[in-house]
Amino acid sequence: MSRRAAASISAVALVVLYALITFVPRVAAADRSAFAGRLDSGSGLIVMERLALSTITIVTLSVGLLVVCWRTYRRQGQGSAVRIAVAVVGAVVSAELLKHFLPTTAGTQPFGQIVAGGSFPSGHATIATGFALAVASTLDPKLARRCWGPLVAWVSLVAAGTVAAGWHRPSDAVGGVLLAVIWNTALVRRRVADEADGAAVGRSRVGVSPAASISGWGWWAVMGAAVMAGALAPQARSGPELGETASPLYVVGLAAVLAATGALLLLGPSRGPALRPGSSRSARVSVDSVLQPRIGTQGRLRSDERQ
């Protein structure tokens, strides 16, 4: 899938998601019920999620963005650094603007909190997804493929944490992931092509190995299993409600958030393009790898003759 196609699909999905939770009463009610169901979740999940959410602050946002942009500037140039900075900052700013200016349904305030308006999309989910994509874009392709699984696992924990901590509905977390994907895929270029240009002659494929792909999905699956195990654990209470388990809609909402973050594995550096031996690009790489040493040798001989 091309990055332009990914941006278009994410934009359409974001609009459809907002329309469903705003104009379809049954979907909106299910979304609110999933949010309310968090009160029956195990305390272990809530503690784990809040620890993940505490990693996103103004300080970490500023320092992380400076480090990513500096590394990108050193390795890829000023243009790439600017695009990554705009992608991260634009996603965060647009998330806050959407919270304030999007029309919302009013009149739903369970447990004293306004959850029907002013919370779409989740800022924490947007920041986590934007930073994960930015880090993967600035690393070397091989290293990025190794780190993409842990990065997606961290995004999954943060996005699900906004629901478990009572900050957002599941739709808000999914909307934050989609918004960050839109900005990154629209502005930031993939670095897989850099590795392809340096491929050895006769190599039939450039991209992710089966082991790297399994590793990425493995990280996501382990984190998803931990989140679900925490959600299904009985909440310690007193009286007749002792041992009450999480509501089904709450579990479904967390599963939807994890599915959205799992889809990031399809957009990361692990989806490198194939390089076929008979392709024009493969031929160009082979010719360049043969001619460059000869050109360098001829240049050195000419310089020796002049001396």
Per-residue DSSP letters for 270-292? TSPPP--TTSHHHHHHHHHHHHH
pLDDT at 270 over 50: no
User: What residues are paired with 244 via a beta bridge?
Assistant: 235
123, pLDDT greater than 80: yes
SS3 38: helix
Q: What are the tokens at 85?
A: 């900075």
Same structural domain for residues 114 and 222? yes
- Percentage, residues of the chain above pLDDT 90: 31
Residue 200 — very low, low, confident or very high, per pLDDT cuts 50/70/90?
very low
Q: Are 197 and 299 contained in the same domain?
A: no
Residues 6+ apart with CB under 8 A from 271: 1, 192, 207, 208
Q: Tell me how far CA of residue 186 lies from CA of 2, 190, 207, 218, 282, in angstroms.
A: 11, 11, 22, 28, 27
Q: Average pLDDT, stretch 212-223?
A: 80
What's the rounded mean pLDDT across residues 103-118? 49
Count how many domains the chain has: 2
Question: What single-letter DSSP state applies at residue 81?
Answer: H
Our CA dihedral for 192, 207, 153, 229, rounded to 10 degrees, sits at 160
Specify the pLDDT at position 81: 92
Confidence grade of residue 42 (pLDDT, cut at 50, 70, 90):
low
Host domain of residue 283: 277-307
> How many angstroms separate the CA atoms of 29 and 232, rounded?
22
Q: Please tell me which residue, 55 or 256, carries the higher pLDDT value.
A: 256
Can you give the pLDDT at residue 248?
82
Which amino acid makes up residue 159?
A: A
Q: Is the pLDDT of residue 120 over 80?
A: yes
Residues 146 and 101 in one domain: yes
pLDDT (0 to 100) of residue 40: 53
Same domain, 306 and 194: no
Residues 153 and 87 in one domain: yes
Task: Report CA 303 to chain centroid distance, whole Å.
Answer: 51
Over 50: is that where the pLDDT of 290 sits? no
Tell me the backbone φ, ψ of residue 267, rounded to 5 degrees.
Answer: -105, -10
172/121 Cα distance (integer angstroms): 4
262 and 199 fall within a common domain: yes
CA pair distance 262, 153, nearest whole angstrom = 9
The residue among 45, 248, 256 whose CA lies nearest residue 171 is 256
Pair (264, 285) in one structural domain: no
Q: Is the pLDDT of residue 285 over 90?
A: no
Give the confidence band of 37 by pLDDT, cuts at 50, 70, 90.
low
Report yes or no: 268 and 148 within 8 Å, Cβ to Cβ: yes
**Residue of 104, 107, 114, 265 lying closest to 177 (CA atoms):** 265
Looking at the fold, whether 59 and 127 belong to one and the same domain comes out as yes
What is the C-alpha to C-alpha distance for residues 300 and 142, in angstroms, rounded to an integer? 33
> pLDDT-based confidence at 213, cuts 50/70/90?
low
Domain match, 228 and 285 both: no
pLDDT of residue 153: 92
* Range from 86-100, 149-163, 242-256, 264-278 carrying the lowest mean pLDDT: 264-278
- At residue 215 the predicted structure's pLDDT band, cuts being 50, 70 and 90, is confident
pLDDT at 133: 92
CA distance 173 to 267: 18
Shared-domain flag, residues 95 and 53: yes
**Is the pLDDT reported for residue 196 higher than 80?**
no
With left for phi above 0 and alpha for psi between -120 and 50, is residue 112 left, alpha or beta? Answer: left
Widest CA span in the chain: 96
pLDDT, mean of residues 95-120: 64
Cα–Cα distance between 186 and 188 in angstroms, integer?
6
Q: Are 20 and 174 in contact (CB under 8 A)?
A: no
Residue 60 scores a pLDDT above 80: yes
Please give the model's pTM, rounded to 2 decimal places.
0.76
Rounded to an integer, the average pLDDT of 145-174 is 89
Are 113 and 233 in a shared domain? yes
109 — pLDDT class (breaks 50, 70, 90): very low
257 and 297 share one domain: no
Question: For position 43, what pLDDT does the model report?
Answer: 57
